[in-house]
Each structure stands twice: as structure tokens, then as C-alpha cells.
Structure 1
């Protein structure tokens, strides 16, 4: 320990004790302040707070107990460690010293090595406490900064929700009216430009809607709106909603369900299924098949999310498309991730669909992953544990979630 910048205040009404202790501490490299009575000790501590105080108890006018009590009542001196050094050796004396805020107690006559060891021990503890306090302060500042960032992000989401979606919808409506020719016949080039504008406005609206969906899901909104749903019904609904898309792409949808019930928000699960199925259809070749299946694996076959004691329902979406590179199998579940940069333009995706899927499934205690090989297609898996209706993760929405929901 570096003692050169460490100051110790020694308080004792016996000049000889002050001299002996000062000599010992100076030889060890400590800076020493001396006070021959309680009043001088308080003045010295307030004028230049030391790193530690060695305090005698029996002194005239104001004893060591009272000195310690006053030190602990003042902000500038409250955290200074006080070691009592006294001839009083009764248990009651020691207990009183600790009750008043002392950190240690040394009985006179003292051993030099014991005094030094106890001083070093308390200074080490104080140093660690100071470091811990600095870390706590830094973490608190980071928490406040992140809190402010979250608030700003929520404000941005509100702007996106109210200030962008409405004008975009109006633009799209105007473009559709122009395309009908009601306000004048357009040449072929004019129709082409309007089609381009409609396509891009649709893409931007999907992006905004996906962003808002993701924020609502991650904030825990609608998790309390759960029902005991038959997952087979939700699978059929999702497949039916994409049947037209599949036929247009010349892709066959094959659905194999199980009459298994789970406490979920049905809209959430349908959103996951439609995201996965639409991706599978988009990246499948004409004439191929996309499979949607559900099963209850044997215990231990599939990880059970956050609780291995809960039985999982395993749902798969399989295609024979172009596949996913091995280095993308995890990253594709991040925000704005695309396997190929051109996908967002050619396939119309926002890059948020799989991030939404992961967020939803993890909220329900499950997990989602993909197995794939280039040219051999992909299989997306997700699990739904059999969570009870009062599962603790589905507590009332946080203040942030409530605030977002109100927007």
C-alpha cells in the first residue's frame, strides 16, 4: 500500500502516546496530524479531513465517544474510518464504540505490529469502498444516460407513429387516385413512375409498422392479453392468410398441426408464423413446397427456453430455397439484417421480421433458431413452453410499456 499520500489523525490527551504513535506512523510513511483533545480533533478533521482517525476514549471535556458521534453526524467526516485506541477493555466499552460508528477497537497497551496491521486493513477496506462507490456512481450515470436515450427513442417512435405514417398513407391514397386516371389520363411512363412510388411507399410503411411492432413487443405491451389458444388453429390461420401469395409464387403450402394449447397472445404467434412462412415462400423456387409442422419432442430433445421443466411445443417452417450461409445463421435475427443486401429491394423485406420473431418467442420463454445449407434450403424452428396462465414473466407492463401503448 502506498502510504505517502495517506493522512492519519491521532487523538490522545497523553503527549507521550501522541509522540510514540506519530513516530511509528511516520516511519511507515504516513502523514500524521495530532490532536491532544476532542475539540481540537474535531477542528482538525473538519479543516482537513484525514484518511483515518486513531481515537482515544478517555479525554477531558469531550471524550472519544462524543468525538466519534459528532464526526458521524457531519457529511464531510461521516465516511472517515475511526479506530478506537483505549485502555478500556470491557465488552460494553467496545460495543458502544462500534455502535457509534467505530470500525475497529485496539486495547492499550498496544502492540505496534497490531496497530499497523489494523490501520492497513481499514485503509484497504476504505480504498475498496471508494472504488466501489466510483463504479456505482459511473453505473448510475450510465443508467441515467440510457434512460434518457430510451426516452428520446420513445419520442422518436411517437413521431414515427403519428407524424410519418399518416402522411405516408395520404401520399399512397393520392397515388392510387392518380393511377386510376380519374384526374387525367397518364402516359405509360407516368403509370410506371406511380407504380414505383406506390411500391416504395408500401415498403416504407411496412418498415415503420415493423419498427413500431418491435418496440411494442420488446416493451412487453400486450403480453397480458393472452388466451388459452389452440396452436393448430393459429397455424391454419397463418397458412390461409398466405395461400394467395403461395399460389402466385407457384409454391405449395403443406401444414401438419397438433391440437396443443398454449397461453399466448394469438396475434403474436400468427405474426411469427406469417413472417417465417412469407420468407420461406419468397425464397422458394416455383414448383417447390414449404412445410409448416408442429410436434411435441421427447423430453430433453429440445431446450426448454428459460425453464427446462416446461414441455416445449416445437414448430418448424421448412423450405427448399437457396439457403443461408453458415456465418449468417445467428446474425439474421438482428435488426435490419439481410442475408443478401439486395433482398430488401427485390423481396420487399424490412430486415426486421426475424428480429420481431425472436423478440416474441423469447417473451414466451421459448427460443428460435435456423438450420440451413446453401442450395439445400432452410428450416426455422421455434419452441413454445407450456407456461401457466400466471407465469411470472407476464407481470403487468412496465411504465415504459404503458407509455408506449398509449401513443
Structure 2
């Protein structure tokens, strides 16, 4: 099979041989067949020629002084720039050729002197065709991988959209259902408190007007411990006020978190949104039988209002904070929480808990302005993440959590929201036993798309 002119476009052949006669013979032979030929008398010249212009095929003599063909081939294969260039070894018919070594160092074929023109051209053309097929295969593999990646990204986006719609509807319904009864309770507590005060005032008046009650009334007062009840009623009313107020705060945080009716970009206070997300996670931060309460250290900078898709940014905060809590919980499960010391990171954690003899489980939230961006960094003192896993953290459906504990979508969705939707950056710094820090940066102002 011969390549036509349109197929190989004057392919460039580098001939390396320390015998000038062989160089002239091969050059004339190949030039006559339409190849562009360059010549090198030794290995050093050959390596320099490859750096100047990459050949399509190299004909390389094995027996050369100073640097033999095997050594030249090894250096070519060790360099990313020249590693894919096919190398055909050439040697004299009576030379002892180590064919195994020739292939081991990266050669693809070999020919012997004296040269037969048709054989040389055929072997070169075979290698050019093989290389062309390899390039085409690589291109198809790349396009296939790109199609798979696009499909995964599309699936993640669809899941994210469906989750946001479902979340918005759920939160709106919950907020409405909870708001009605809690508003009724909170509003009536004010009247109940006043009624209690009036009744206590009446009882005190009776005690003054009738200092010697009947034995029956004395017994009832003793049984119910009247004095204690009067004092404790005030505490109970106060506790109910605080509880009702807390529920209203949670409902408000739910509404702010989902922002189901705010699909457009708007200017928001990042710290307020972070606080609302923390309200949602209070139940996970509290002390458990296995560990002290997780301390949240807020190292907030002076941030301006930021243009963003608020509900989606809140999703990112939720994912990152949940992951930080999971990392600490995983350390608890392994009996290793708080073993690391993040003092070497930009935002040092870990005040020492002398009562337990361990660092306190902790999450630190740092915010600052960097040029035209805002940076939000969330660090934990959990177990940390192995280097081999960090490069895959943002891949769709990849998770480091046990089966059934994670979907592998949280960080992938976060990546899409921060990088693709807000034109920002998201990164992770971590090492095993040293905790982890996820940092996101988004522009303060989003330019028109």
C-alpha cells in the first residue's frame, strides 16, 4: 500500500547514520518517493534536529560512536515531545542486532543494509499509516470521552434542577404549614402571659385579704407548691417565647435558604445566607454521645453585597458544611477525630480541649475580598483527604463516603454552580490527618452573559 500525496503531505523523515554514504543513499531514495528528508551524522545531532522540527518517522542507525541507536531511542521516548515519533532501526546485515532490546527501548521496526528501496519505503509508509490511525483513534476516544462527560454533566444539571424545584416546593409548603400554627402560638403567648400575671396578682390579693385560709386551701397550696409554681410559671412562659421564636427563625432560614421564588440573580449578603444555612444545620453541630459539640469559628471579613443566584449558592454552602461535619463524624467512627493540626494552613483551627485531651472538633468559615472576587473558605479538622482522591472530588457520582452515605453529586453540583454558573473557582487543600479546606471564589459582580 502506498500513501498518495494528499494523504501524507510530504512527510518529514529524519535519517540518522554515522556513514555519509548511507545518508546520501537513503536521502536520494526517499526524496525520489516524495518525502522530505533531513540528515544527522550522530545521536546528539538527531536529538537537536527533533527539538527544532518534529519528524514523522526516524530511521536510526544502531551502531554509532559516543551514543548508539538504543540510547538515542531511549532519550526520544523519555521526552513527551518526541515520544510518539515512530523509530525504525537500521543496521548492517552482518551486525549482531539485539532485536529484543530494539523493541524494548521503543523501536517499532528495523531494516538491514544493503537497503532495498521498495522495502524501506513500504516500512516507512506502514508506520505513517499506523501513526495516522493512532491519531484518529485518539481523537475519537477524546470525542467519546467528551460526550460521556457532557452526558454526566447534563445528568447532574437535570438532577440539580429537579432538586431545586422539589426543594422550593417542599420548603414553601412546610413554611406555610408551620407558620400558621406557630404564629397562632406565638401571638397568643403574649395574652397567656398576661393572663398568668393577672391570676398571680389575684392570688396574692387573696393571700393579703385572707391571711388565714381554710385547711382545704392550705392543703391544696401545699400539694401544688404554690410559691414555686408562681415563680416557675414566669420561666415557662419565657421558655415558650424563646422556643416559638426559634421555630420562626428556622422557618425564615428555610425560606431564605431555598429562595424558591428568586430564580434570577440578585445582590445578597453572603454572611446572612451563611448564617441561615448554619441555622439549618444546628442539629448536626450539637454534642453527641461520641464527641463534644462541633465549634463553628466565624472569621468573617468585610464583604460587599455579591451578585449571585442566592438559592444555588446556599446549596453550595450546605454541601460544603455537611461534608465538613461528615469528615468529623467519620473521624469519630474511626476513633481518630481531631488528630490533625491545621496550624500550617492559612486559617488555623484546633483550640486544644484540655478536658478531653484532644483538639475540639471544629469548622472554621473564613471570608475575604480578593481583588474583584469574594472568597469563602470552609475548613474542618477531620481526617483529611488522600492526594489520590482529591483530583476526582468534583467528578459526577464520585464519593469517598461509604455505600449508601453519599450520592457523589454534592461537590459536582457545587462545581457547576460556582464555576459554570458564577464563573468562579472551587478548590480543595488537604492531607491525611490534617483536615480539609474547601475554598470558593466568585466575582462580586456578574458580567452580562
Considering the TM-score relative to the shorter chain, is it more than 0.5? no
Larger radius of gyration: 2
With structure 1 as the length reference, what TM-score do the two structures score?
Answer: 0.42
